[in-house]
Amino acid sequence: MLNIAILGSGKGSNAQAIIEAIAARTLDARIVCVISDVADAFLLERARQHGLPALHVDCAPFKTKLDGAAEQRVIEILRAYQADVIVLAGFMRIIKAGLLGAYAGRIINIHPALLPAFPGLASWQQALDYGVKVAGCTVHFVDAGTDTGPIIVQRAVPVLDGDTPATLHARIQVEEHEAYPAALRLIASGKLRLAGRRVLAS
């Protein structure tokens, strides 16, 4: 069974989608721990409601990255809970070399755009500003770049006349909640295998 660790900073709606997929037995995995850099993140409350280990890691003095003692603490937690794959679910910090090295090829993220288009922040706003007709979301492996890792799953969302950033983002989030479990199913089923520090496509 695939051991999943979730890192997040906010409400945890993607984490909830993964929890529900496991409960529905459409994903053969278990969540071994949930970690947040925000002490009162609702993500942690979701974890507690489902009886999952919910841990806060204080990332001070850094404001935008996971580094230093906090990074080492996260690595210690992941090893203690024997995580196979690390799922970033709204984790609002830059992942640095220590964690990337310790879990190379085993960290995945979801981004609200059809990468490689519109990396970075507020990608739904970028899509509207650019005038595209199709937006979406991408589950990808995390590397040292900004949303540059290998793509696992993508879901498309049409951009409708009259869309606002809020309405487009909301529809993208609906697809995110399908895409993340789908990507994890590929890993859990062996169609996309995690082998030590390498990712091997079967």
pLDDT of residue 194: 65
pLDDT tens across 33-55, in order? 999 999 999 999 999 999 999 99
pLDDT tens across 65-81, in order? 999 999 999 999 999 99
pLDDT tens across 163-183, in order? 999 999 999 999 999 999 999
More confident residue, 202 or 125: 125
pLDDT of residue 191: 80
Q: Is 50 a catalytic residue?
A: no
Predicted TM-score (pTM) of the model is: 0.91
Q: To which residue do tokens 């310790």 refer?
A: 102
pLDDT band of residue 200 (cuts 50, 70, 90) is very low
* Contact residues for 62 (Cβ-Cβ < 8 A; gap 6+): 68, 70, 93
pLDDT band of residue 190 (cuts 50, 70, 90) is confident
Residue 74: how many CA atoms within 13 Å on its side-chain side?
32
- Catalytic choice (50, 56, 111, 140): 111
List of domains in the chain:
2-191 (3.40.50.170)
